[in-house]
Amino acid sequence: MINSEAQLREKLSLFWHGHFACRVINSYFQQELLHIIRSNALGNFKDLLREVSKSPAMIQFLNNQQNRKQHPNENFAREVMELFTLGRGNYTENDIKEAARAFTGWGFNAGGEFVFRKFAHDDGSKTVLGKTGNFNGDDIIDILLEQKQTAVCITKKIYKFFVNENADNEKVEWLANRFYQNGYDIKKLLEDIFTNDWFYAEKNMGNKIKSPIELLAGIRRFLPMQMENDQAQLLFQRTLGQILFYPPNVAGWPGGKTWIDSSTLMVRLRIPQ
């Protein structure tokens, strides 16, 4: 983030890193997940969602390796609806149960490659979001992407990240419609945001509380300095409450005013000094 020429890609990678919050011990899996995020950060959300869902990091983190037809594990099915696509309240508990059955058999091998274990897959009929069929995991992802609510949910999060914590629902709706019509093209969504007059409105200027990572990377980009010990940055991350590759939970970092409390505020003031 400090040295890259491709700043928008890096900023978006940080956004998606929080959206697809994932915490696993295996650093190779983490690197692969970041590579997927970076490669698709400005591409298509459909491809990004599919590749992240099949990454060993996410399969391990959300227990899909243990998802078998006799004992469906609902972790991944729940989070893919609640956090990655539709948002809370736009599906039922039964949708989660049925979707979990569709994701049975998804796993990875010793080399960390995605594998579909046919014998562990429940190939019975399932009903998800009003559609019935002999669905597999890919079908469920298609069904989730067909829902306009997915476009609204993603657009609102991106709006909050780039424009204003207090989302303007009218503008989000307009952007989400375009995002949906453009087949989830992330670059076009950003273009719609950055080329609109309201992006530069007074209420949207200087209103963002930077995340610790944005604060640290911003200072490092602004000041031409080399750190004698790069590891010191981990100490700052820990003190300020945002450690890369170590989100607090599957919902990621809440952001906004949660970055500031009585202890972190003092550290935030001291670091630039």
Q: How far is 96 from 128, CA to CA, in rounded Å?
A: 8
Q: What are phi and psi of 143, to 5 degrees?
A: -65, -40
**DSSP category for residue 99:** H
Q: What pLDDT is recorded for position 272?
A: 85
Q: Other C-beta atoms within 10 Å of 142: how many?
A: 13
Q: How far is 260 from 225, CA to CA, in rounded Å?
A: 26
**pLDDT score of 58 more than 90:** yes
Query: Where along the chain do its domains lie?
Result: 7-146, 148-204, 212-270
**pLDDT score of 20 more than 90:** yes
Reported as a single tens digit per residue, the pLDDT across 229-258 is 989 889 999 999 999 999 999 999 999 999
Reported as a single tens digit per residue, the pLDDT across 125-153 is 999 999 999 999 999 999 999 999 999 99
Q: How far is 120 from 111, CA to CA, in rounded Å?
A: 20
Q: How far is CA 149 from CA 84, 122, 128, in A?
A: 11, 27, 15
Q: What pLDDT is recorded for position 30?
A: 96
Kindly state the average pLDDT of the residues 164-178.
97
Q: How far is 20 from 31, CA to CA, in rounded Å?
A: 14
Mean pLDDT lowest for which of 95-99, 100-104, 197-201, 225-229? Answer: 225-229
**Rounded to 5 degrees, what angle do the CA atoms 118, 124, 129 make?**
110
